[in-house]
């Protein structure tokens, strides 16, 4: 499996605080790669480094074989990196469909007709068709999460970054969202997913990375990672 995303010795500091410390990993095409870690471990900073919302102090970020470290966020989106954010922030005065059009036109750089076709398809895939003409600001939490996912998908990403998209949902709502993410995976989209809802991540992830204090703690098959004594101690608060 060829790597779509590769980070090599990536470090990010804010003053004296090192948030990510020489982290390296790669994600294969079509893979779902989960990232776990305690609060403050540096997970969202990793996403910011991939999406262009932050720049590394050292190391390289490669996407589809090219160094994208010099590209602005909108250019990374245009070449195929889409992301959601931990707190959904839709354009509340616009409809669900209009929110998707923004993603398709300005993120995916599609013309109007192509953008409309993509948006209709994404509405179907994410269960939002019935909400297409509803103002985004009136959506319940699950549908706001769906919209966050759908707006990222409207940019037609090769790589989708999901930042704690299951946070705040009930168990039943989480199962619904996991089913939708599985369908995204079946369409061949490569996914990197940060999540605190561990059972949701384990239901989809092919491999896991656990980080702590900005450093790699463990990486590998989900069952083996979750059985790692250091992971159980640091992340789960359990003694082996």
pLDDT tens profile 41-97: 899 999 999 999 999 999 999 999 999 999 999 999 999 999 999 888 899 999 999
- E strand or H helix at 208: strand 207-212
**Residue 240: its pLDDT value, please?**
46
Task: Classify residue 93: in a domain, yes or no.
Answer: no
172-181: pLDDT as tens digits: 999 999 999 9
Split at pLDDT 50, 70, 90, the class of 99 is: very high
pLDDT interval class at 39 (50, 70, 90): confident
Which of 88, 98, 101 is CA-nearest to residue 133?
A: 98
Phi-psi region at 24: left, alpha or beta (left = phi > 0; alpha = psi -120 to 50):
beta
**pTM summary value:** 0.93
> Does any domain span residue 146?
no
Residues 6+ apart with CB under 8 A from 146: 126, 127, 128, 177, 180
Number of domains in the chain: 1
Question: Cα–Cα distance between 156 and 210 in angstroms, integer?
Answer: 28
* Domain assignment present for 115: no
Tell me whether residue 226 is in a domain: yes
Distance between CA atoms of residues 148 and 99, nearest Å: 9
Name the nearest CA neighbour of 10 among 215, 164, 192.
215
**Residue 21 within any structural domain of the chain:** yes
Question: Mean pLDDT over all residues of the chain?
Answer: 93
Report if residue 152 sits inside a domain.
no
Q: What value does the mean pLDDT take over residues 143-158?
A: 95
Return the structure tokens found at 167.
Answer: 């946070």
Reference 185, options 14, 55, 33; nearest CA is 33
In a domain, 103, yes or no: no
pLDDT at 236 over 70: no
Range of the domain at 176: 3-87+157-234
Q: What is the CATH number of the domain that holds 62?
A: 3.40.50.300
Neighbours of 153 (CB within 10 A): 27
Q: Is 136 a member of any domain?
A: no
Percentage of residues of the chain with pLDDT beyond 90: 85
Distance of CA 67 to the CA centre of its chain: 20
């Amino acid at each position: 499996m060829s790597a779509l995303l590769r980070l090599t010795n990536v470090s990010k500091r804010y003053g004296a605080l090192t948030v990510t410390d020489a982290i390296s990993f790669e994600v294969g095409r079509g893979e779902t790669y989960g990232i776990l870690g305690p609060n403050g471990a540096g997970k969202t900073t990793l996403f910011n480094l991939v999406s262009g919302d932050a720049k590394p102090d050292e190391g390289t970020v490669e996407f589809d074989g090219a160094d994208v470290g010099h590209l602005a966020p909108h250019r990374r989106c245009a070449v195929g990196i889409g992301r959601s954010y931990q707190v959904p922030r839709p354009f509340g005065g616009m409809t669900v469909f209009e929110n998707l059009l923004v993603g398709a036109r300005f993120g995916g750089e599609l013309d109007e007709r192509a953008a409309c076709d993509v948006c209709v398809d994404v509405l179907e895939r994410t269960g939002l068709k019935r909400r297409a003409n509803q103002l985004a600001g009136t959506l319940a939490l699950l549908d706001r999460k769906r919209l966050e996912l759908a707006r990222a998908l409207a940019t037609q990403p090769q790589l989708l970054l999901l930042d704690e998209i299951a946070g705040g949902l009930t168990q039943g709502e989480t199962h619904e969202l996991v089913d939708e993410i599985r369908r995204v995976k079946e369409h061949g989209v490569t996914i990197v997913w940060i999540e605190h809802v561990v059972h949701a991540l384990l239901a989809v992830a092919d491999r896991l990375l656990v980080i702590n204090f900005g450093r790699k703690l463990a990486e590998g098959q989900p069952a083996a990672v979750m059985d790692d004594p250091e992971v159980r101690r640091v992340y789960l608060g359990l003694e082996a």
